[in-house]
Structure 1
Amino acid sequence: MKWFKKLAIATTLAASIFTFQANAADAHSTSHQVKYGDTFWKLSAQYGVSIASIQKINGYKYSLFAGETIDIPHILTSYEKDLLARLVHAEAKGEPFAGKVAVATVVLNRVDSKLFPNSIHEVITERSAGGYYAFTPAANGTLKLPADNDARRAVEEALKFRGQGSGSIYFYNPRTAQSEWIKSRPVTVVIGNHTFAR
């Protein structure tokens, strides 16, 4: 009878681990059954994720076949999109549209990087060991202000091309930046008043 009890415990434990892993995978992706006429571009627009990220999560698949099931990467919630748009609005107000897209891209690149937290909220509200916020609007309260249409459009644009570009994970205004360390990072692009770096 002891062996039966051990077997029941082991089976229950294995089922619990499997369920946890399945739920963890579900939190980061969703499944899509490919229909005739589906393309990566259509799926990108439908789900608001980049073509590259759909291909990457499916093992760099480049062809779709009707009837097959593929994974779609994590789709941002309305809260995450709004929070990101508010950050873009606060950080890049008055900057060119391309600069707003680049600011949103920095946050998305951080979410995708092993060096930073893996959610929009955690990246935006992250603090350094010294207690300083990574993004000024999280510290000074401007993050609470509503985003304008340009900031919202910039977020959508950044999502469409997520995973592409030069891999910027930092940006700063060289006229106001105090840190010598940030100025030592390899520059990827300069847009308006912001320098982007990795």
Structure 2
Amino acid sequence: MSTLILVRHGQSVYNLENRFTGNLDIALTKLGKQEAKNAGEKLIHFKFDFAYTSTLIRAQESLNIILKKIHQTDIIVIKNEALNERNYGSLQGLNKEETIAKFGQKLVDSWRRSYAVRPPDGESLEDTFNRTVPFYKQIIEPELKLLKSILIVAHGNSLRALIMYLENISAQDIPNLNIPTAVPKCYTFDENLKILKMNYL
């Protein structure tokens, strides 16, 4: 069997301020750091072969806190922009409530939650899927087939894309999927990458 753990980074400054973050490089809050420590406590009995994260500091810092907590700071860490948060375009940095007041709840919800609709000058979840999932299939799946244990610490939308692929979630159903910050999701696979078990820890 192989194991895959997915973790969304802890709370960032822009999460706290209710702003669209996207691929802006925003740090963790004090709470976000504590959330990452809490995630590490849940992973204390796992032994990982590799860890993957994005090129953004909030994911890297969350991963570093987790690895320190589980005493595995010596494992190989691969950073790749394929795991970055989606680009929210001209919405990045804007307050979400103010954006809703300006554009309306329905339109903002379609920008945030739908599969194919792009925010102005930004990426849709479909765009994110089309860079995140090929990276996963090319780089990470071969390791899982070798029965490795993998930790991925990334972002709400890059993880939504991965979970959409892993669990075969449709474009119609993906708007209902929310990824909580710093709550590990564990997948156990057989040698053919069939999911044997999946659960939040």
- Calculate the TM-score normalised by the size of structure 2: 0.22
Structure holding more helix per residue: 1
Structure holding more strand per residue: 2
Question: Which structure carries more relative contact order (alpha carbon 8 Å, separation 6+)?
Answer: 2
Pick the structure with greater CA Rg: 1
